[in-house]
Amino acid sequence: MNPRESITRQIHGRLEREPRINLHRHPIAISNADGVAILEGEVGDIAAKKLALELAASVANVRGIVDRLRVAPGERRGDGAIRDSLARMLLEQPEWRNCTIRSQVQEMRNSRTMVLRQGNHDSVGDMEIAVTDGVITLEGHVISLPHRLYAGVLAWWTPGRRDVVNALELRPRYEERDDEVTEALGLVLEADPAIDASQIRPSCAKWVVTLEGSVPSEEQKRRAELDAWYLSGVERVINKLRIAA
């Protein structure tokens, strides 16, 4: 067996053994060249996507990963509808009340940028939304890590999205802290209408999130875990939530 085939088989074997990844329902095409593995396909949720990339990167002699994985949306929608839904969410959230928000609109073969809200001199950031083939891209800058992470989660919550590229920068730049990740996740859980977050205790250590406490149902336990995975940069989620009797 040549080295390229060996790498591909090892990646496939690790994906098959991960219970959060269903290769029968959501096949993943795996290829590699010069130690760079390419994963392509549509997976069931954000956890499957992140775990697939992590497992592929853990194989010996893999030097890089090309991520072409998309997450199956709950409903199929056009790019314009996805963009407008996210814009409405951002405009309604108090955290973005003083943020410049722009939207990239595709018209025929050209695109133009619309200013949806103009922040003032104390603005929390300047953000531009673009959507291509169901992939949301966030560009610009914000003042804090919680703002950056929360914007990314709102993008993941948008109906019809297939992936999110959170390219927002922190300005001014500073060292990111675990407590800010915990703060962002607390905001997300409180804002999620599908979750009773009153008994959830999130924490973070080096981008590994732990969820402790209790929720009323198995579905809420799963939803809380997905919300944690939606945070850009989170490498692992340890779900210790109990189902309240």
pLDDT (0 to 100) of residue 124: 94
Check whether residue 219 and residue 186 sit in a common domain: yes
* Cα distances (angstroms) measured from residue 94 to each of 86, 90, 91, 187: 14, 8, 8, 12
**CATH code of residue 12:** 3.30.1340.30
The pLDDT tens digits of the residues spanning 134-147 come to 999 999 999 999 99
What is the total count of domains within the chain?
3
Tens-place pLDDT, residues 155-188: 999 999 999 999 999 999 999 999 999 999 999 9
Express each pLDDT in 28-52 by its tens digit. 999 988 889 999 999 999 999 999 9
Q: Which residues pair with 238 in a beta bridge?
A: 210
CA distance 16 to 214: 30
Check whether residue 86 and residue 140 sit in a common domain. yes
The answer to whether the CB of 228 falls within 8 A of the CB of 209 is: yes
Residue 118: both structure tokens together: 């103009």
pTM, to two decimals? 0.93
Q: Are residues 183 and 101 in the same domain?
A: no
In single-letter form, the type of residue at position 202 comes to: P
Q: Do 161 and 193 fall into the same domain? A: no
Q: Which of 137, 170, 203 is the last residue of a domain?
A: 170
What CA–CA distances, in Å, run from 119 to 30, 100, 101? 44, 5, 8
Written as one letter, the residue type at 92 is: E
- Statement to judge: residues 90 and 53 lie in one domain: no
Assess whether pLDDT exceeds 70 at residue 1. Answer: no
Same domain, 161 and 86: yes
Range of the domain at 34: 3-71
Contact of 165 with 137, CB cutoff 8 Å: yes
Note whether 203 and 161 are same-domain residues. no
Which one of 71, 87, 108 terminates a domain? 71
Structure token digits, residue 177 = 């802290």
Are residues 48 and 9 located together in one domain of the fold? yes
**b/e 162-174 (16+ beta carbons within 10 angstroms → b):** bbbbbebebeeee
What residues contact residue 58 under an 8 Å CB cut-off, 6+ apart?
A: 14
53 has pLDDT over 90: yes
Q: Does 111 lie in the same domain as 154?
A: yes
Mean pLDDT of the chain: 94
Whether residues 203 and 131 share a domain: the answer is no
The label of the residue with tokens 């709950």 reads: 74
If asked whether residues 59 and 91 sit together in one domain, one would say: no
